[in-house]
Chains A and B, each alone.
Chain A
Amino acid sequence: MSILIDKDTSFIIQGITGREAVNLTRENLDYGARIIGGVTPGRAGRDIYGVKVYDCVRDVVKHEGQPYGSIVSVPPRFTKDAVFEALENDIKLIVIVTENIPRREVAQMVELANLRGARIIGPNCLGMISPGEAKMGGVGGPAANTRQAYTKGNIGVMSRSGGMTTEIASTLTAAGLGQSTCVSIGGDAIVGTTYAELMPFFEDDPATEAIAIYSEPGGRMEAELAEWIAKNNSRLPVVAFMAGRFMDEMQGMRFGHAGTIVEGKEDTTADKIQRMEAAGISVAERIEEIPELIKQRLAEKK
């Protein structure tokens, strides 16, 4: 089992004729993804590694059937339109790869997705992978490298950093710990799905026995996760790798004053560690410590 995607998940790629999207198509197909069509306005009739290209999402639905998901890989200025098009065509899972999308438009996309009962992963993310089943996005790179880093198993991984998703999975794999699903949630100020929002999926997934997350300074995502765990009495042990400790020593960038009023005080790494530990999350200082901490926590549970 896994969350969000498995080998039967059908999806399309919007912006499929772009350079990065062509690579994504190749890598995802090689890993066994069911890509039922692609969209680039004005490019209907072409095909990318056997995937038919259509002018609009409606035409894919008409000719290939209803896709469940979409990877959106279009330039920032067209992303909002592409995402709205996917949502209005009843697509339920959208991975937005594009970075540097104006925040205002991200807020609009996330709001519409919520209204339509759909889920956005990203923007500025590498998507997700259920090892041995399917991947949706650039996570892990070429299929051969992806197979080296990711193995099927029982650990769920969530990361704001795309690269660290693979770094953590690869460390788990090396220690003999496979993964159920690994999600690169994106590093922007607003993302479609946060750690706390993914937790119920992992909680309900019988294959998942523990969670590893990547944590960094800024934002309140860890605080929300800690609140969720405490409130829901989660069955899953969580291990967090905390990056950016060196920043506590520095006068870094801070979100403006008023931001801290509506969002709550910005945590330093020390605050985050304390908050997570109080919620029962084990905090690793080095990536290499993650597998050991997970094994300890799993052993304690038995």
Chain B
Amino acid sequence: MNVHEYQAKGLLRDFGVAVPEGILATTPAEAEAAARELGTSIVVVKAQVHAGGRGKGGGVKLAKSPAEAKQAASEILGMTLHTPQTPPEGKLVRKVYVEAGSDIAKELYLAVLLDRAEEKFAIVASTEGGMEIEEVAAKTPDKIQTIHIEPNVGLRDYQIRQLGFGLDLEMDVIKKFVPFVRGLFDLFIEKDASQVEINPLVITGGGDVIALDGKINFDDGALYRHPDVAELRDPDEEDDRERQANELDLAYVGLDGDIGCMVNGAGLAMATLDMITHCGGSPANFLDVGGGADKEKVMNAFKLILRDPGVKVILVNIFGGIVRCDLIAEGVVGAAQELGVEVPLVVRLQGTNAAEGRKILEDSGLDITSAETLQEAGERAVAAGK
């Protein structure tokens, strides 16, 4: 799960990580008032969307007076922001964060994350703050410092100091850098973040260490124990159908094609989409009903698929293991009858209770095309859509 910059900064503050003063605004007038309240000679007005590279798309503007802040906010609010990280259609800006300007002497990059290959936590830092870390890695990899943290041991102060010396920081600054990084790491651990990225991390003219920007991603698998974090979810930032799927505990990704798919298991779902493509068709979605699929889940999955008006065929592909094919078949029949499914249905049932499942489909009297293999299923679904 992602959060906005203003939310991330709230969390950073809670963990003692220094950030500039800032106020959230949803109208130009609020932005003007915010600038006045901050009272600094310069403020920065920043679009709040879940995407990086906002400055490049015109989503970050400097203002030298409350009137300028109002003007900047009126330009940013309501705009559709396009950055290298937004989806092709862009992102609508609904909120801006008005922040006090900072006296920047040095810009650095720092991120805390999980290194999956090493199975350890890692802190990555570079002297090239403000630049995309990928670009730094490609051009000047020697400017990147990495430390690994053993999961059962945790971060030690000497590691942070070592990182600071590697970034050419003076000892006076390192004394502030150590608690700063400690706060970031504590936040990462205590809130079960999957990544905390500070870019840029700024050293001010006075030698203070502050987070000028902050991006935090959270581990969805750990949200159950962080209701305060779960509350930060912004539904406006999520795809409608994907959000509904989330609520129904289904893994769904909308695509552009016309063959709706319902599959158990992410692997088989991917293989199914490949097979449709291979057979000359085009999938309308990725949908994994998961290992514990029952009648209700199948019904919900159908509802979700049918919300997409582009769907001309539905392909159900189940390889029963823990999932029982007879329960899936009941769900398919129930959905077809109760929801009045009008598009052709192609169903492949294999594995646990497949024979019972096929019998339920046959006895239902519904016009359902069945398939034995994945290839047959793909071919028949593509043919049915023509």
Q: Which of A's residues lie within 8 Å of B, judged by CB?
A: 20, 23, 76-77, 99-104, 107-108, 110-112, 126, 138-142, 145, 149, 159-164, 166-167, 170, 187, 189-190, 214, 216-217, 219-220, 224, 241, 243-247, 250-251, 256-264, 285-288
User: Bound complex: CA of A252 vs CA of B28, how far in Å?
Assistant: 35
Contacts A104-B189, A159-B267 supplied; 16 other A-B pairs, CB < 8 Å: A77-B225, A102-B221, A103-B222, A107-B120, A107-B121, A111-B151, A112-B152, A141-B351, A161-B265, A164-B268, A257-B134, A257-B197, A259-B115, A261-B144, A262-B117, A285-B278
B255-314, CB < 8 A from A = 255, 264-268, 270-271, 273-275, 277-278, 283, 291
Residues of A within 8 A of B134 (CB): 257, 260-261
CA distance A126 to B352 in the complex (A): 15
> By the criterion CB–CB under 8 Å, are A167 and B319 in contact?
yes
B142 interfacial contact with A, CB 8 Å: no
8 Å CB contact of B277 from A20, A160, A245, A256: A245
Which among B87, B268, B277, B375 is the interface contact of A246 at CB below 8 angstroms?
A: B277
Judging by beta carbons under 8 Å apart, are A141 and B152 in contact?
no
Q: Which residues of B sit under 8 angstroms from A259, Cβ to Cβ?
A: 113-116, 195
Pick from A163, A245, A262: contact of B321, CB below 8 A.
Answer: A163
C-alpha spacing A220/B119, complex, angstroms? 12
User: What are 30 A-B pairs at a CB distance below 8 A?
Assistant: A76-B221, A99-B221, A100-B220, A100-B221, A102-B225, A104-B151, A107-B121, A107-B151, A112-B152, A126-B322, A138-B321, A161-B265, A161-B268, A163-B264, A166-B321, A167-B271, A167-B319, A167-B374, A190-B119, A216-B270, A243-B271, A246-B270, A256-B217, A257-B197, A259-B114, A261-B137, A264-B117, A285-B274, A286-B374, A288-B373
Q: Measured between alpha carbons, how far is A219 from B117 in the docked complex, in Å?
A: 8
Q: Which A-chain residue is minimally distant from B273 (CB atoms)?
A: A246
C-alpha gap A157/B132 in the complex (Å) = 40
* Chain B: CB-nearest residue to A188: B221
Q: Name which residue of chain B comes closest to A149, CB basis.
A: B351
Q: Which residue of A lies closest to B189 (CB)?
A: A104
From DSSP, what is the main secondary structure of chain B's interface residues? mixed
Q: B residues within 8 A CB of A145?
A: 320-321, 351-352
B219 within 8 A of A: yes
Residues of A within 8 A of B115 (CB): 259, 262-263
Residues of B within 8 A of A166 (CB): 319, 321, 351
Tell me, in angstroms, the Cα distance from A200 to B264 when the chains sit together: 32
**Residues of chain B with a CB closer than 8 A to A162's CB:** 265, 267, 291, 321
**Neighbour of B119 across the interface among A110, A160, A170, A285, CB < 8 A:** A110
**A257 to B137 Cα, complex, angstroms:** 10
Q: Is B368 an interface residue (CB 8 A)?
A: no
A258 to B193, CA, bound (A): 14
Contact B274 A164 (CB under 8 A): no
Query: Known contacts A250-B255, A262-B124; is A164 also within 8 Å of B117 by CB?
Result: no
**CA distance in complex: A262, B122 (Å):** 8
Most buried by A among B124, B152, B321: B321
The CA-CA distance from A285 to B375 in the complex, in Å, is 12
**Residues of chain B within 8 A of A216, CB atoms compared:** 266-267, 270
Instruction: Report the separation of the CA atoms of residues A260 and B195 in the bound assembly, to the nearest whole angstrom.
Output: 12
Write the chain A residue with the least CB distance to B321. Answer: A141
Roughly how many angstroms separate A76 CA and B197 CA in the complex, as a whole number? 27
Is the Cβ of A101 less than 8 Å from the Cβ of B221?
A: yes
For B117, what are the chain A residues with a Cβ–Cβ distance below 8 Å? Answer: 220, 224, 262-264
Instruction: Answer whether residue B158 sits at the interface, using C-beta atoms and an 8 A cutoff.
Output: no
| Interface residues of B, count at CB 8 A | 60
| List of B residues within 8 angstroms of A257 by Cβ | 111, 132-134, 197
- The digit string for B102-118, where 1 denotes a CB below 8 A from any CB of A, is 00000000010111111
Given A102-B219, A142-B352, A257-B133, A163:B268 Cβ within 8 A: yes
Name A111's contact: one of B119, B189, B192, B374 (CB within 8 Å).
B119
A76 to B116, CA, bound (A): 19
**How far is A288 from B88 in the complex, measured between Cα atoms in Å?**
36
> What separation, in Å, do the CA atoms of A262 and B321 have in the docked complex?
37
Q: Which residues in chain B, 120-164, are within 8 Å of chain A measured between CB atoms?
A: 120-122, 124, 132-134, 137, 144, 146, 150-152
Q: Does A103 lie within 8 Å of B132, measured CB to CB?
A: no
Check if A126 sits within 8 Å of B152, measured CB to CB.
no
B228, chain A: closest CB distance, angstroms: 16
Q: Name which residue of chain A comes closest to B117, CB basis.
A: A263
Q: Are A244 and B133 in contact (CB under 8 A)?
A: no
Taking the nearest CB of chain B, how far is it from the CB of A55, in angstroms? Answer: 25
Q: Report which of A103, A245, A260 forms a contact with B274, defined as CB distance below 8 A.
A: A245
* Assembly CA distance A251 to B254 (angstroms): 12
A276 to B87 CA separation, bound complex (whole angstroms): 31
Asked whether A104 lies within 8 Å of B265 as measured between CB atoms, the reply is no
Q: B370 on the interface (CB 8 Å rule)?
A: no
Task: Give complex CA distance A269, B87 in Å.
Answer: 21
Known contacts A101-B221, A245-B277: does B319 contact A163 (CB below 8 Å)? yes
Taking the closest CB of chain B, its distance from the CB of A196, in whole angstroms, is 10
Which B367-386 residues have a C-beta within 8 angstroms of A? 373-375
Residue pair A111, B352 in contact (C-beta under 8 Å): no
Chain B residue contacts of A160, Cβ below 8 A: 267
Expressed in whole angstroms, the minimum distance between the Cβ of B330 and any Cβ of chain A is: 18
CB distance from B87 to the nearest CB of A (A): 7
Check B375 against A258 for contact (C-beta < 8 Å).
no
Contacting residues, chain A, for B350 (C-beta < 8 A)? 170
Q: How far is the CB of A113 from chain B (nearest CB, A)?
A: 10
**B283 proximity list for chain A (CB < 8 A):** 246
For residue B275, which residues in chain A have a CB less than 8 angstroms away from its CB?
286
Whether, in the assembled complex, B48 has its beta carbon less than 8 Å from a beta carbon of chain A, the answer is no
Chain A CB within 10 Å, residue with most, of B124, B146, B265, B275: B265
Q: Of all chain B residues, which has the CB nearest A218?
A: B116
Q: Which residues of A contact B221 (CB under 8 A)?
A: 76, 99-103
Of A23, A139, A161, most buried by chain B (CB within 10 Å of CB) is A161
